[in-house]
Amino acid sequence: MALLESAAVGEGSRIWAFSHVLPGARIGRDANICDHVFIENDVEVGDRVTIKCGVQLWDGVRIEDDVFVGPNVTFSNDPFPRSKQRPETFVQTRVRQGASIGSGATLRPGVTIGARALVMDGAVVSRDVPPNAIVAGNPAHITGYVDTPHVDLPGQVSSATRAVALPADSLPQLSVARATLHRLPKIVDLRGALSFGEIGSHLPFQPQRFFMVYDVPSREVRGEHAHRACHQFLVCVKGSVGIVVDDGQHRDEILLDSARLGLHIPPMVWGIQYQFSPDAVLLVLASDTYSAEDYIRNYDEFLAAVKEAKAAAGAQA
Amino acid sequence: MALLESAAVGEGSRIWAFSHVLPGARIGRDANICDHVFIENDVEVGDRVTIKCGVQLWDGVRIEDDVFVGPNVTFSNDPFPRSKQRPETFVQTRVRQGASIGSGATLRPGVTIGARALVMDGAVVSRDVPPNAIVAGNPAHITGYVDTPHVDLPGQVSSATRAVALPADSLPQLSVARATLHRLPKIVDLRGALSFGEIGSHLPFQPQRFFMVYDVPSREVRGEHAHRACHQFLVCVKGSVGIVVDDGQHRDEILLDSARLGLHIPPMVWGIQYQFSPDAVLLVLASDTYSAEDYIRNYDEFLAAVKEAKAAAGAQA
Amino acid sequence: MALLESAAVGEGSRIWAFSHVLPGARIGRDANICDHVFIENDVEVGDRVTIKCGVQLWDGVRIEDDVFVGPNVTFSNDPFPRSKQRPETFVQTRVRQGASIGSGATLRPGVTIGARALVMDGAVVSRDVPPNAIVAGNPAHITGYVDTPHVDLPGQVSSATRAVALPADSLPQLSVARATLHRLPKIVDLRGALSFGEIGSHLPFQPQRFFMVYDVPSREVRGEHAHRACHQFLVCVKGSVGIVVDDGQHRDEILLDSARLGLHIPPMVWGIQYQFSPDAVLLVLASDTYSAEDYIRNYDEFLAAVKEAKAAAGAQA
Amino acid sequence: MALLESAAVGEGSRIWAFSHVLPGARIGRDANICDHVFIENDVEVGDRVTIKCGVQLWDGVRIEDDVFVGPNVTFSNDPFPRSKQRPETFVQTRVRQGASIGSGATLRPGVTIGARALVMDGAVVSRDVPPNAIVAGNPAHITGYVDTPHVDLPGQVSSATRAVALPADSLPQLSVARATLHRLPKIVDLRGALSFGEIGSHLPFQPQRFFMVYDVPSREVRGEHAHRACHQFLVCVKGSVGIVVDDGQHRDEILLDSARLGLHIPPMVWGIQYQFSPDAVLLVLASDTYSAEDYIRNYDEFLAAVKEAKAAAGAQA
Amino acid sequence: MALLESAAVGEGSRIWAFSHVLPGARIGRDANICDHVFIENDVEVGDRVTIKCGVQLWDGVRIEDDVFVGPNVTFSNDPFPRSKQRPETFVQTRVRQGASIGSGATLRPGVTIGARALVMDGAVVSRDVPPNAIVAGNPAHITGYVDTPHVDLPGQVSSATRAVALPADSLPQLSVARATLHRLPKIVDLRGALSFGEIGSHLPFQPQRFFMVYDVPSREVRGEHAHRACHQFLVCVKGSVGIVVDDGQHRDEILLDSARLGLHIPPMVWGIQYQFSPDAVLLVLASDTYSAEDYIRNYDEFLAAVKEAKAAAGAQA
Amino acid sequence: MALLESAAVGEGSRIWAFSHVLPGARIGRDANICDHVFIENDVEVGDRVTIKCGVQLWDGVRIEDDVFVGPNVTFSNDPFPRSKQRPETFVQTRVRQGASIGSGATLRPGVTIGARALVMDGAVVSRDVPPNAIVAGNPAHITGYVDTPHVDLPGQVSSATRAVALPADSLPQLSVARATLHRLPKIVDLRGALSFGEIGSHLPFQPQRFFMVYDVPSREVRGEHAHRACHQFLVCVKGSVGIVVDDGQHRDEILLDSARLGLHIPPMVWGIQYQFSPDAVLLVLASDTYSAEDYIRNYDEFLAAVKEAKAAAGAQA
């Protein structure tokens, strides 16, 4: 009961009832195309992909290996037909390796869902989703990262549920071993509060640059990148911000919510800032002056550089 | 044009074009399964159920009698495949008797939609929906209860549209006849405001326990239950809170928004607290000390107890 | 593979695989009905309409010419079956000429989507959408107007990205040539701030009426209309508000966010106020006393009046 | 026991024990100079003045007739000796006819206390006090006006204590008969609130100028003056402001605290604005374009002009 | 060098230079009247009183035994001469036994300074000062009570300076031994916070009345009184309030700032409520219904009743 | 008419009528003691001091050279007699060289008024006053510094009244020539605002330490000191703060109110921070790690070090 017009369907793949695959579509091995699916011509579907019922894949859609697309997920094909405000240019919508699209989610044309990302049921995705991110809502926003433990800090709500409280002055070891948390001194008297850090005690490098992030209008991601050589030291002076650190192997999420807390992000650690509270003021000290070449802004490139560095280290050993 | 592989379809039920029912599915009488529907094996559909077009019912879905499922409603089958954060355990999604799921709504796997509840169009439901509740939004939240009149109180906005204004000091009779509203004295002078109540005038019982509810972080439901023997007296000192009272036959919704307003909830009346304003402080006086056995926390159990009580009363008469 | 039961399908129209059109449906010319579509009997579809996959058109749906309906868009047919709270009356859902409904959007029964309006992907529309409006979200709200440039004003964020900054005191010419922006004096001293305008300097007419708009509870549209004879002068004293002006041919959107900025809207220009900030106070001066006849509140009527006026002017020339 | 070195002391005046009057001082009739008073040379004291114990009158002090100076009131003689920030110029401190200075008050050098004004006990006066004003605090601020009834408006707190409530829509007649209060229409619906007024209904003149007062940093007096020919119409759109109107014979104080309330101040009525709430926005419509000559900014000049106008009117009659 | 016209000066009293005492004044024993003091006729000064330099005591002033009046303290004699707003009636200003008036303070005519109260330097007192209260500022407000230790509670700022921290769950013994602090359970979960108390565990009596105090407009005293028979149990649900308890012999001040803290005030303990935070909500449960006779509202009367009770107890023993 | 019992009165000093000087008092040359003054025994008054009428100097008061004490200024002698809360220890009240005490001011026992400081009329001083500070109010707080011009910055309110506006990007030269203002870049985009500075462009030194000042509870002075060797760079990221810089010869006051503004304070410049807005966040970068020896916290010591440095420099030249 299916209309299979394409010959490019990999071994082990199944096409279910009432589905329709146009001649130009290419489908990998061991894919599972359920009932009532429609697949246009300029479409590529990878190996081990599941497309549940009621989904359409339009020209320009690229589904990489090991992706799951839930039932009634909607891809958009035409970007705003007839509106002069948007270009009618042909766009590619891409779901990267290992990502999952939850039931009933909608994807705007042209977005990329990052590798291993998780789109929650019913989410309406209008911007690219970073690798490993979890998104939900309409419009979709990032609510967390997959396989990323929230670091339990003394005094924070999450730690209230721990069986054994951390000693008030100890700070936990992170999974990303090279990134470190630092307790900063804080002096409170009748004149107010004062926190500080200095070289030799709390600051693991000598800063050559500082910047402050503030007036962030939403809780959306503000930025993510790694540095090749530059160290950074983050303190959230007011409000709070979530930081994810990632060395290519492990990830940690830390809620910076106290001026007494410093976070050292060394080179070759991917850092993500998001979930700024409305009043957040984030201070960043950097070990080097600005250099565009020092930034790695693409996560794939970051993973490749990590691999390369490890290989080089192995060769040396 | 339909693929009907199951034999367990009740009398009077219709399966429309391009639908597909797998062998293990069981469908009751007088059900209506519209075009482009897909029904897996471990699925039960009750009597007089309507499933509109574009819906899939996955293994584990249970649809009780008299349910309506709108077009393109999406049930989720796999709970987050491939994410290590969530268990891959098999889950049941259940829509209880008489509930309605609006067009384009999405249900997370494992949720239960309570009896006679109403899921509005486009809602994304990620938590259980209590009986009789109306939910909307992404994520869905409770906006009201079906067949539950908002009680019109003097001075409240809703009463502004009434043709005939209530006298300022009178309080209406509730549909739930045993629950009663009480006007408390309020004295305002230069030193501030003072409200009070006492035995013999405003308090219908002598309290042995008090509790205060506050710092409620959202407008979501806070709790719902009935007592077998305990009386309660509620006053919202600051802000406002919506209270639904339900004696198994009638329901009323009251907006407590004044320290001058007391609500007496006698035993065997189901009470729901929700839509707390951010600054709400709710005082509850109780006629008895705490006893876990006195609480009925399950609505079905409550209805059974009401029935039983009525039968007992009838037997006595 | 389609079930076409109706004979009333216009020349050049195509019905794709697995679709089902009931006998009473009427479809215009050059329409494109994609896979897995269901069309009931009491449905009218205009010329050059596209209905993408997974859409159902229920009894009572009217789709005018040149409409685009994206994939998995959900129309609702029954307004809240079985709930006693809502009438079961039969309702018409109408999509006016040239409108686009984005992928995965949901439309409550009975709404009208205005001509050339744009419903964004995943929007849940529960109220009528005005002509030319862009709506998004759950529930959907207006986010802008199609083909309407945002006017770049000195000091506003949008102008920060311009290559060439505007001189601080110059104000741009609008596309709607008869509407004009005016710079007002502002004096700040120890007693506070004072803005003023007077005849001959800043006010292009002598006001006979004033009104103030304030306490607007949301960022939704507040009102839209044109005047036949009356001039208006708008100043946003506190906060900000978005104004769209439209002469039937061009549109501009202006953010009034300074007490130093006045906007003159002459007769026969359609004006829309929306996106009020919570603290906004908008002052409007009008050249004439109130006259109900002077208001045009229907946009179609406005376009007709513009056309008529132009014809009259042409006849005179 | 007193040292009386001056001969210029009027008939009926008494100088008490341990007081000291230098030769140049001049004191009027029926004055009462109590114990421990010191009076320098360049000092003038009017008729019927009381100077209580512990007061010094320095060179440059002028006390007009009928003034009361309480015990331990402190006049300053040197304006900030040795500070280069302030001129060492000789200054006159003047207490105008009929004013009272409460016990323990302090007056900065050079201030003028207006006729009939009342300085409360312990006040520290660093700026001129307008005629009839009551001042208190450190620094002193205006708290009211002598012999000025607060106009009782429906819905305001002050009227809550009245035995007989005013009908909700009536507005009281003012003592200053030519100034009038006007009820403005207010329309509240789901889109917010709207108040307006127009020529012929609520606006007693056709405005040629408007100004808005806002961001007033304190509750101090903002301004006071009269117009010779110009009419003004005041509406407080947000917050509240106290207005005193004065026709030279009567005074009223009105709390403008609602956008439904307009106040018409005709020519030749003295108007005072003070006690702005922090969020106050005051709109003023004026019948004429700005003309410096139209303003009377001096209260004595205003009283003279009122008298002259009355005389002219009498001559005509 | 002094003018002593009165013969009614007690043994051991001294009158210093340049002072002036009129014939009608009566002065007790061992008083000390310093330089430049003026004392009118209708004045009574008790034993062991000190009047420092530069003070005047006007007709109507009553100074009880053991009072200290600092230098340049100003009493007012005429209440607002010549203002029609205030009555010219003769008033008594009274300083009760053991009170101290700080240097440069000013007292409005007619106020009473309670026994042992302390008026801080420079305060401007315009209302009665309760017994034992400390007042400061212009206008003066209560800042504390003499000889009243602030009870150190775990978690409060004041306790941060203690050498030895209290165990988090222990509550201190009060000096007023019969009043007791109680720790109430508080349960916080995602639904908000809930505090409660019940008979047998936290509530030392069975309530017959409750009242709530809120919307207190300032930090001034709200009320003070004792009960003859009624018990009270106080919980501050929101914000904070200072409570002073006093059994006639000892005093304690407790900052109620947590819904986990209950204070039991038994009969025959004087209780003062003051320094309400703007958002404070104070719940009071009472053991008896309202009875005007049960209230002792005068502190002298309270001390007498305590004495009497003690005598009765002694007689019994 | 004066009682002069002391012989220790310097040449050229005058004692006026009704004054009283006890035997132990010592008074310098060319002092001026006006009428109705009382001076106890353990008192020292310097050269060229003026004590105006109605003042008492109690045991323990020390008045240095060139001080002015206005009329009715009140010194306190007994610190809280009879209150057990405060020690009865004997205290010294000291007015340092060149200070002025305004009329009617009150000084708590034991305070020190710094050299050249200015106490405004009616101030009630309960804490030490720093050198050069101007204080006012009850209780007294710092409102400015004598001989300290407010630096006029583009965009600040004070500059609005200048005849010639500063070019928007130029920054003025300070009187304290070694301290300098710097314009920092600020980038605003959809993600928020970002300000930064880096070595070589905006930062005149390489920081080794940073600290952040925040949560300052009042507008009072927060701190003042100089560094011997350390450079500091201040940026006010949020809100505003007043900074006074002082090189011993000149002073400037700068309002830091923009994240675009940096202030460099070099070594041997005294710096004062005060008048923090409630939301102020002040970032300070320092050139050296913390060293207690590098701080000069006493202003006299600072002046001595400046002098010494100058002498050393002169010796070198």
Nearest to C138 among B17, B137, B147 (CB): B137
- Return the residue of B nearest to E223 by Cα: B191
- The reply to whether C225 belongs to the active site is yes
The alpha-carbon gap from B18 to the nearest alpha carbon of chain A, in Å, equals 7
- What's the rounded Cα separation, in Å, for the pair F94 and D228? 57
The alpha-carbon gap from F239 to the nearest alpha carbon of chain C, in Å, equals 19
Superfamily of domain E180-316: Jelly Rolls (2.60.120.10)
The alpha-carbon gap from A165 to the nearest alpha carbon of chain F, in Å, equals 28
pLDDT, position C192:
62
Residue B168 has pLDDT above 80, yes or no: no
- Return the residue of B nearest to A50 by Cα: B81
Q: List chains touching B (3+ CB pairs under 8 A).
A: A, C, E
In chain F, what residues touch D106 (CB-CB under 8 Å)?
72, 103-104, 121-122
Residue pLDDT, tens place only, E165-213:
344 467 889 999 899 999 888 887 766 778 888 887 788 899 999 988 8
Q: What is the ipTM of this complex?
A: 0.84
Residue D85 has pLDDT above 70, yes or no: no
In chain C, what residues touch F188 (CB-CB under 8 Å)?
157, 160
- Return the residue of E nearest to F108 by Cα: E121
By annotation, the residues of E acting in catalysis are: 225
By annotation, the residues of F acting in catalysis are: 225
Contact E272, E243 (CB under 8 A): yes
The active-site residue, picked from C36, C182, C202, C225, is: C225
pLDDT, position D150:
84
pLDDT, position E15:
96
* Amino acid identity, position D110: G
The alpha-carbon gap from B220 to the nearest alpha carbon of chain E, in Å, equals 8
In chain C, what residues touch F160 (CB-CB under 8 Å)?
188
DSSP string over E74-130 = EE--SSSTT-TTS------EEE-TT-EE-TT-EE-TT-EEPTT-EEPTT-EE-S-B-
F/D touch flag: 3 or more CB pairs below 8 Å: yes
In chain F, what residues touch A210 (CB-CB under 8 Å)?
196-198, 207, 210, 283, 285
| Phi and psi, residue F30, nearest 5° | 50, 30
CB neighbours of E109 closer than 8 A, spacing ≥ 6? E60, E75, E76, E77, E78, E79, E91, E93
* Amino acid identity, position B3: L
Q: What is the CA radius of gyration of chain B?
A: 23
Residue pLDDT, tens place only, E256-313:
998 889 999 999 999 999 989 988 999 999 999 989 999 999 999 999 999 999 998 8
- What's the rounded Cα separation, in Å, for the pair F70 and F47? 16
Least confidently predicted of A271-275, B79-83, D213-217, F104-108: B79-83
In chain F, what residues touch C160 (CB-CB under 8 Å)?
188
Nearest to A216 among F192, F200, F210 (CB): F192
Alpha-carbon torsion (C291, C292, C294, C295), positive or negative: positive
- Confidence grade of residue E228 (pLDDT, cut at 50, 70, 90): very high
Give the distance, in angstroms, between the CA of residue F74 and the centroid of all CA atoms in the same chain: 22
* Amino acid identity, position C83: S
Q: C-alpha distances in angstroms, C261 versus C153, C198, F167? A: 10, 14, 23
- Confidence grade of residue C190 (pLDDT, cut at 50, 70, 90): low
- What's the rounded Cα separation, in Å, for the pair C235 and C196? 10
Q: C-alpha distances in angstroms, A157 versus A161, A257, C2, F272? A: 8, 11, 58, 38
pLDDT, position C82:
44
The larger pLDDT score, comparing residue E315 to residue B145, is at: B145
| Phi and psi, residue E195, nearest 5° | -115, 150
Site from D188, D209, D236, D285 to mutate, C interface, most C CB atoms within 10 angstroms? D209
pLDDT, position C297:
93
Beta bridge partners, D251, equal: D246
A54 to C36: CB separation less than 8 angstroms, yes or no: yes
- What's the rounded Cα separation, in Å, for the pair D30 and D24? 19
Residue A52 has pLDDT above 60, yes or no: yes
- What's the rounded Cα separation, in Å, for the pair F4 and F23? 8
CB neighbours of E46 closer than 8 A, spacing ≥ 6? E28, E31, E63, E64, E65, E66, E67, E97
Nearest to D104 among E3, E80, E106 (CB): E106
pLDDT, position D185:
80
In percent, how much of chain C has pLDDT > 70? Answer: 87
- Confidence grade of residue C161 (pLDDT, cut at 50, 70, 90): very low
- Return the residue of D nearest to C233 by Cα: D210
Q: List chains touching E (3+ CB pairs under 8 A).
A: B, D, F
| Chain F: residues touching C (Cβ < 8 Å) | 157, 160-161, 188-189
Nearest to C188 among F160, F188, F189 (CB): F160
- Confidence grade of residue C90 (pLDDT, cut at 50, 70, 90): low
- pLDDT per residue of chain F (317 residues) written in tens, 0 to 9: 789 999 999 999 999 999 999 999 999 999 999 999 999 999 999 999 999 999 999 999 999 999 999 999 999 876 444 444 444 455 789 999 999 999 999 999 999 999 999 999 999 999 999 999 999 999 999 999 999 988 878 766 443 333 333 445 678 899 999 999 998 887 765 556 677 787 777 788 888 887 778 777 766 666 789 999 999 999 988 889 999 999 999 999 999 988 889 999 999 999 999 888 888 888 888 888 888 999 999 999 999 999 999 999 887 76
Average pLDDT over residues A112-141: 94
Nearest to D76 among F66, F121, F124 (CB): F121
D152: helix, strand or coil: coil
The alpha-carbon gap from B36 to the nearest alpha carbon of chain C, in Å, equals 7
Least confidently predicted of C117-131, D107-121, E221-235: E221-235
- Confidence grade of residue C258 (pLDDT, cut at 50, 70, 90): confident
| Phi and psi, residue F251, nearest 5° | -135, 150
Strand order in the sheet with E44-45: E8-9, E26-27, E44-45, E61-63, E93-95, E112-113
Nearest to F197 among A198, A210, A276 (CB): A210
Residue pLDDT, tens place only, A158-184:
433 333 434 456 788 999 999 999 988
Q: C-alpha distances in angstroms, C294 versus A12, C178, C225? A: 71, 18, 10
The larger pLDDT score, comparing residue D229 to residue D207, is at: D229
- Return the residue of E nearest to F104 by Cα: E104
Maximum Cα–Cα distance across chain C: 80
Which residue ranges does chain D devote to CATH 2.60.120.10?
180-316
In chain E, what residues touch D54 (CB-CB under 8 Å)?
36, 38, 54, 56, 72, 74
The larger pLDDT score, comparing residue A32 to residue C150, is at: A32
Q: List chains touching A (3+ CB pairs under 8 A).
A: B, C, F
C/F touch flag: 3 or more CB pairs below 8 Å: yes
Nearest to D74 among F103, F136, F137 (CB): F103
D281 to C206: CB separation less than 8 angstroms, yes or no: no
- Confidence grade of residue A207 (pLDDT, cut at 50, 70, 90): confident
A214 to F259: CB separation less than 8 angstroms, yes or no: yes
Alpha-carbon torsion (F200, F205, F206, F207), positive or negative: negative
E106 to D98: CB separation less than 8 angstroms, yes or no: no
Q: C-alpha distances in angstroms, A33 versus A16, A53, B82, B297, B316? A: 6, 8, 18, 44, 64
Taking the CA atoms of residue E70, residue E71, residue E72 and residue E74 in that order, the dihedral angle to the nearest 10 degrees is 20
B230: helix, strand or coil: coil
Alpha-carbon torsion (F80, F84, F90, F91), positive or negative: negative
- Pick from E179, F196, C218: which is nearest to A232 by CA? F196
The active-site residue, picked from B36, B150, B225, B250, is: B225
E52 to F77: CB separation less than 8 angstroms, yes or no: yes
- Confidence grade of residue A21 (pLDDT, cut at 50, 70, 90): very high
- What's the rounded Cα separation, in Å, for the pair C296 and C306? 11
A211 to F194: CB separation less than 8 angstroms, yes or no: yes
Contact A309, A248 (CB under 8 A): no
Average pLDDT over residues D244-258: 93
Average pLDDT over residues D214-231: 82
Give the number of beta-carbon pairs within 8 Å between C and F.
Answer: 6
Which residue ranges does chain F devote to CATH 2.160.10.10?
1-147
Q: What is the pTM of this model?
A: 0.81
Residue E88 has pLDDT above 80, yes or no: no
pLDDT, position E45:
98
The alpha-carbon gap from B9 to the nearest alpha carbon of chain E, in Å, equals 44
D35 to E54: CB separation less than 8 angstroms, yes or no: no
Average pLDDT over residues B107-113: 93
D214 to C192: CB separation less than 8 angstroms, yes or no: yes
CATH 2.160.10.10 is held by the domain E1-147 = yes
pLDDT, position B303:
96
Other C-beta atoms closer than 10 Å to the C-beta of E301 total 11
Average pLDDT over residues D49-67: 96
F124 to E118: CB separation less than 8 angstroms, yes or no: no
